[in-house]
Structure 1
């Protein structure tokens, strides 16, 4: 079966996200005994209480949660998440087997901050491909789909439960650092995902609207919509161009418009998400 370039790209991004998350765990969280939520954090608590290995607990928990993912979200999400979850465990095993594991910093605050930042980037990359690293991330995705709660906030609620468990087992200090990590990651994940998907929405009024529209379609390679209007002062007919572009295309388009018509009137708004051809696929969301 031939694998498309789109699929390879999606799994490549998921793999990069998994690697970043593994680094945050192995070099910031684990060496400093920080349990910042997630099934991995809960596994530490269960291991401390019962002696059940972390791997066994995580496998059982993920089997249950993946079953829910297939049922409530669909096979695509579940399949990608299985890849990400087991990819994470394999990456962690490889790091522990072939690379020295140590704390990049023994300062608990620095470890929490930098571990959370690196981990948030990793999780955001995974989430951006309609996937998950398993565990409470699946719970967050389900809440996001059915209750429309932002992913970061959903993850925050689920992870806070884990932090409370850590408080009872590991003590106040480590639990509080874990809580700080949960808050940092919850905020950053939404911001990073928003940054991945954000676009610029432009309304352009120009006497050379036809020339600008050709540049948009042929050079910027985006579609545009022509809206016929009337000048409030001049009472003359005007053509308004409506176009949505990504940030890189926005920079290029501004330069092109300036070259064509320096007197063009342009309004620019930020769009958090755009669905449709050339942007996010509404069917997959």
Structure 2
């Protein structure tokens, strides 16, 4: 781990993250915290095409019932880490625990009832309607030959309403704008009714209106249903506004972790993002960043 702003001499990455996020093995508050926690330990992540690990991480915690944003420059390992947390990528070393259970030991449907993932790459037949797409999110709750239940209908209605696409239910996906499509996909993931939601760059390529709409939906879901959220974001200012915690990645390792007002600093922006900027930590909506110029390596 890079020596982050909060890491004292001799502190390990495990010590820094455990101090803030709580020890993943401490269940003293379990009765008061029904939401799920994701915890990665001793992770080594890579791909067949890479000789060296893409991500190495002693300990990473996505606290139960909170929004955690993964931020960092391109190639820093954010999406790779999210793929491992969602069991889309098997670690070369270490494990990912969902409330103490290794995610690789959970069956596909069991995991899908607990954890939902919206990846960067998703596609559907253009003729599929928004409502039909949302019903696809109910597959973990149904047997192969089971018909739709009242619970399925209620879940889809809630998802369409929360995502703000109920009025688009009969529209075909091929007729929607980019922002509308993204909200439709979010409705599908919401219909899954999971305890944990992972989102990989859900606001990329969207205009400002739809960026804010997506993040407001995520925050509403977290606040109203106590869903644990981990989201990869490029915009650190947006992350600082909507997230309870930030994990700043640099060169495949967590650089710093904690509440935005503690993590976002001029030093971090320079070291991680190579940007000279001013930070107003007292801004009521979270640390406000004013970038000045890009820095050379």
Shorter-chain TM-score range: under 0.3
Name whichever structure is richer in helix by fraction. 1
User: TM (normalized to structure 1)?
Assistant: 0.27
Q: Which of these two proteins has the greater Rg computed from alpha carbons? A: 1
User: TM (normalized to structure 2)?
Assistant: 0.26
Structure with the greater relative contact order (CA < 8 A, sep ≥ 6): 1 or 2?
Answer: 2
Name whichever structure is richer in strand by fraction. 2
